Amino acid sequence: MSGPALVIKAHSNRGVARADDGRLVAFHFPRSLNRPLPGDRVELSDDAVLTHIHDRRNAFGRGDRHGRFRPLATNLDRLVVVIAPQPQPSHDLLHRYLVAADIQGLEAIIVINKIDLDLPDQPPFSELEALESMGYPVFRVRCRPEVELAGLPDAINQGTSLLAGQSGVGKSSLLNALIPDLDLQTGELSRVTGKGTHTTTAATLHHLPGGSWLVDTPGVWEYGLWSMPAEQLATGFPEFAEPASRCRFRNCRHDREPGCAVREAAEAGHLPDFRYQAWLRLLAEQQRLSQL
């Protein structure tokens, strides 16, 4: 085949794309081109070789241990972050995801899975009500013993969403609940690649009922941001924008500078203190990354 296609999965120097007529096509990509990612619109030659990657609206990814940005998928509309009472997330895992989504201009949705378990009275669970009031939708779901998805399917029924979360939070069970024909899709993908798809080792694009798309990503123990200037990190805290316009210094880092309106707003209770404390921790983290 030749012509346009949508990348479903890519690894090593090979990938799978869905042609506009719905067929899955295994393709090869030369190392002279950038690596294609799930969500990319591409052009393939008659002999199924990647010839062109169309411009990307955005790319979501994570930082590696050297602080470099490693993209996972492209052309996304929203990030769906799954957390659960067990295993409990680290203090800043959720904040890192929310910051990354806001930096990339994505809608961020928080999903609490395993709601049949008691929620710990500690962060980030104790912060959910405030985050919801800040505009981050929170869905409380479970997949066992029976499926309860609240309004989550309706919230992701347009565009392309990326499903992310810690290993063990039940992301695979949630994926099966959201995509009734997941086994058929993964079976078709397996036949095209010649490899099993039982374990998620690379991001994969799945078709949702109704025509939207969902990118599944490998579970991680911790999600890390990449090295970036403080100004870019601040775009991940949109609630800082208004008070930041009143800071004494234009390049204020909202830390120890005199006349910092962001710090004053947090101290006065006009900004959630837990978000300001998260800012300070992530700012310090950025300083460590810049020294790697």
Rounded mean pLDDT, 96-122: 96
Work out the pLDDT band at 196, boundaries 50, 70, 90.
Answer: low
Choose among 115, 108, 215, 99: nearest CA to 162: 215
Least confident of 149-153, 184-188, 238-242, 255-259: 184-188
Tell me which CATH homologous superfamily contains domain 230-289. Probable gtpase engc; domain 3 (1.10.40.50)
Enumerate the domain spans of the chain. Answer: 3-53, 59-216, 230-289
Half-sphere exposure of 93 (CA within 13 A, CB side): 22
**How many residues belong to the chain?**
292
pTM: 0.92
Is the pLDDT reported for residue 128 higher than 60?
A: yes
**pLDDT tens across 222-275, in order?**
899 999 999 999 999 999 999 999 999 999 999 989 999 999 999 999 999 999
Backbone angles phi, psi at 50, to 5 degrees: -65, 130
pLDDT of residue 277: 97
CATH number of this structure's domain 3-53, picked from the four choices 2.40.50.140, 3.30.1370.60, 2.30.42.10, 3.30.70.3040 = 2.40.50.140
Tell me which CATH homologous superfamily contains domain 59-216. P-loop containing nucleotide triphosphate hydrolases (3.40.50.300)
Work out the pLDDT band at 2, boundaries 50, 70, 90.
Answer: low
pLDDT of residue 198: 45
Rounded mean pLDDT, 171-200: 82
More confident residue, 72 or 195: 72
Q: How far is CA 233 from CA 170, 216, 227, in A?
A: 29, 25, 9
Q: How far is CA 278 from CA 111, 156, 165, 233, in A?
A: 20, 28, 19, 11
Q: What is the CA radius of gyration of the chain?
A: 20
**pLDDT tens across 131-147, in order?**
999 999 999 999 988 99
Q: Do 3-53 and 230-289 come out as alike in CATH topology?
A: no
Q: Are 7 and 205 in contact (CB under 8 A)?
A: yes
Q: How far is CA 80 from the centre of its chain?
A: 6
